[in-house]
Amino acid sequence: MDPMEPQLLQLLQQQQEQIAQMAAQIQLLQQQPMAAEPVAVPVNVPENGDDIDAKRLRQFLKLNPKKFSAEDKTDPEDWVYQIEVLLQAAQITEEASKLKVIPHVLEKAALVWWRFRAEDAGAKAVTNFREFKEELISQYRQQDPARIARGKLKQLRQTGAASTYADQFSKLNLRAKVPDGEKQYWFMEGLKQDLRTKVEVKHTMKEFENYEHLVRYTIAEDNAMFLAGRSNGKRKNGNKWYGGQASSSGNGNGHASHSNDSAPMEVDTYEHIPKMTPAIKKWLSEEDEVEIEETSLPVEREELDRVDLDLGPLVATWKDTKSANLLVTKGRVGCAVANTLFDTGASVTIASGRFVEKHKFKTRTIEHGPIFRTADGCKHRCEKIMDTARFTAGPYKDTLTNVYVIPGDCPFDLILGKPWFDEKNPEIDFPNNIIKMQHNGETIVFRADYHEQKVLRDAGIISSVEMYAELASGGYINICMMKPVPDDYENYEFDENGHKLDKTGYEKYADEILREFVDVTDPDIPYPVDREVEHEIELEPDAKAVAQQMYRLTFEELAELKKTIIDYLNKGFIRPSKSPFGAPILFVRKKGGALRMCVDYRGLNRITKKNRCPLPRIEDLLDQLAGAKFFTSLDLTSGYHQIKIKEEDIEKTAFRTQFGHFEFLVMPFGLCNAPATFQTLMNTVFREEINHFVLVYLDDIMIFSKTFEDHLRHVRHVFLKLRKQHFYVNKEKCSFFKTKTLLGLATLSLIKVLKLTKARLQQF
């Protein structure tokens, strides 16, 4: 036998035993049930073996959190706060679980930053979400967020309900961290005019304990004004939206009907309402096993921007409007004449792009502006808006807000749409195109036709020419008394009692000048524009703040003081103050018996460095008049109030009253260097005209010429310069086109004015 055979037999036997064992194992596996297939794991959720964490992470991602890329304008603090809210909603509370969420909510540059931060072996490891929050904000926060928030806070204006405005204000103040007193001031500055007037009266009387008290009162007053307007059949704001299910029936203008007990809500408040997306509804149904009701929600901003807004009969031509009997008028926007249409069919108030560009009105660019659809079916996207516009039509003077600028040209310079009608709720006599409404506590009546606007007289003496114009334009007369006049009637005019007044031919040209420059003679002067000259108050070295005791005032003086303070607050001439300075108030009587408020700045003047800028010599001024035959004198309206105080010197003008501590933003009367500042500005403005055909002494301007043609040209030139520089004159104190026979009177009048001014200066 071969010696290798026993080994081969042994190896063969072992293989047979292994085959038998494998057969037994296969038979055993066939007798056991089949195991379930493993569940597929979503690719965007890491499989970490922790079923609870994976489930909660899926729930978190179903909430569709906004990703932070660091390439847009998303504020990192706001974004982190939103992520923290969603983490809480998904019940992710463990710090380790929160850190696993981070790669899923970052993208682009932010994700690259986090990747290098997590892999940086030399840096301290991030162990909790708070540390991640601090590093992210430190990495991507804007420079000086408090300063940026303060700037936005000062520019914030109320456009809807006071509650919405208060929410926006409080959100900005989280970073601005403005002190309570300053916070109250800026909050009132952004309120609507009618609401601000009521709130400022209470604030002046020091009835608010703090900012929260002010906000509660403002919201309550705004709601009361809204309810009062609704009970009178009107809405105080054209931007209201009423919550709840929208009915299929409308009110004829595209708005859904609503019940009287519906709470008002602003259109822009949809950002505060969470959108019920299908993913959220599905997730809530899976977790809570409840049925989700369908809810009427406001549209998204992108959808809102795509809404077509009707502009009514915008395709008509201006010539057609004269025969179409539309509500049109020649009003004024600022100083520019504007062909204005009153149109209830327009969804918003708009201005022509050509008109805005021609007069260089201040506009603001808006992103994703609304699309306007005109009557001919054309569509125009609006990209600019005028936040405010000063509008005048006859006796009606108002500040329009949110005026959209439609690109290109259109038949009308300005269209007052449905929001204006909702706010003013005017009574309209359509056959005669007469508009009557309440404005600032007064009844305003004016005619809306294509004629230049004039104030309609309730009663009084009118000429036959005026009567014919009234009848021709659709007016009506109940009873009248006629009186014959001489053939040379054109050289006469009558006062309120019907007495004849002589009217020379030169004065006719004066009337034309006043009609052409009606904006320069506006008695309601606005807050002054920025000028190259501002009033400075430079104190002596080592001078200390001066604060004097208040003087006692009578009841009549207290009433006049309160009225003056409210008027100055509304015009923006003064503001509440915390200055260490404080001058007392006193009153002097005018010639007519009325009271005039004066601030006693003698204490401040004693420690002020005197500006020795020379005033013109009266004798030199009179020498310039030699040879002139025509004279016109102009007097500026509250000339000092048309100059700003330098920002760092505002606190030095503070004055103390029984109603609070205030400081001037414009140059007040009584400061020792005020005449020098004003004379410097006037010399700068009329540098080319002085001693040629203009004399200036403080706020008195004398225009002189040798011929009438030159004088008419000179007067127009001065008025054009006053319009360009935004100065305003008091036409009641002006005299026009005086001839050589009145030279002595003009000279004596000028000397009297100069002596009176000099005497006033010596008092200080």
- Does a structural domain hold residue 382? yes
Q: Which residues of the chain have pLDDT under 50?
A: 33-49, 230-277, 280-308, 312-323, 451-459, 486-501, 503, 740-758, 761, 763-764
Point out the domain boundary residue: 140, 156, 184: 140
Whether 194 and 339 map to the same domain: the answer is no
Give tens-digit pLDDT for 131-180: 887 787 777 766 666 677 777 777 788 888 888 888 888 877 776 677 77
Q: How many domains does the chain have?
A: 4
Residue 532 lies in a domain: no
* DSSP calls for 473-522: TT---S--------TTGGGEEE-TT--EEE--HHHHHHHHHHHHTTTTT-
CA distances from 235 to 33, 238, 248, 327, 421 (A): 75, 7, 22, 22, 9
pLDDT at 6: 67
Query: For residues 723 and 514, what is the distance between their CA atoms, to the nearest angstrom?
Result: 12
Residue 358: which CATH number? 2.40.70.10
Shared domain check, 222 and 92: no
Answer yes or no: do 603 and 725 share one domain: yes
Work out whether the CA dihedral 275, 277, 280, 286 comes out positive or negative.
Answer: positive
Same domain for 136 and 149? no
Last residue of a domain, one of 112, 140, 168: 140
Q: What's the distance, Cα to Cα, between the start and end of the chain in Å?
A: 147
Residues 129 and 164 reside in one and the same domain: no
Q: Do 184 and 123 sit in the same domain of this protein?
A: no
By CB atoms closer than 10 A (0-12, 13-18, 19+), residue 165 is buried
As a whole number of angstroms, the distance between CA 427 and CA 437 comes to: 6
Q: Are residues 362 and 218 in the same domain?
A: no
Report the 3 state secondary structure along 130-182. Answer: HHHHHHHHHHHCCCCHHHHHHHHHHHCCCCCCHHHHHHHHHHHHHHHCCCHHH
Residues 56 and 197 in one domain: no
β partners of residue 438: 443
Tell me: do 630 and 711 sit in the same domain.
Answer: yes
Going by the DSSP 8-state scheme, the letter that residue 599 receives in this structure is E
Does 521 fall in a domain? no
Residue 245 lies in a domain: no
Instruction: Evaluate whether residue 544 is within a structural domain.
Output: no
User: What's the pLDDT score for residue 382?
Assistant: 83
Question: How high is the pLDDT of residue 300?
Answer: 38
326 and 417 assigned to the same domain: yes
Global pTM? 0.37
Of 207, 238, 269, which residue sits at a domain end? 238
Residue 539 lies in a domain: no
- What pLDDT was estimated at residue 582? 93
The secondary structure of residue 601, as a DSSP letter, is -
Same domain, yes or no: 198 and 126: no
Are 625 and 750 found together in one domain? yes
**Domain around 351:** 308-447
Q: To 10 degrees, what angle do helices 505-516 and 708-724 make? A: 20
In a domain, 509, yes or no: no
Query: So what's the pLDDT on residue 678?
Result: 86
Distance, CA of 510 to CA of 356 (rounded, Å): 30
| Nearest CA-CA partner of 540 in 656, 640, 661, 673 | 673
Give just the sign of the alpha carbon dihedral 441, 447, 449, 452.
Answer: negative
Q: pLDDT at position 138, please?
A: 73
In a domain, residue 175? The reply is: yes
How many CB atoms lie under 10 A from the CB of residue 31?
6
pLDDT of amino acid 494: 43
Q: Tell me how far apart the alpha carbons of residues 182 and 243 are, in angstroms, rounded to a whole number.
A: 35
Main-chain dihedrals φ then ψ at residue 712, nearest 5 degrees: -60, -40
State both tokens at 233: 């059949």
pLDDT, residue 651, reads 92
Half-sphere exposure of 335 (CA within 13 A, CB side): 20
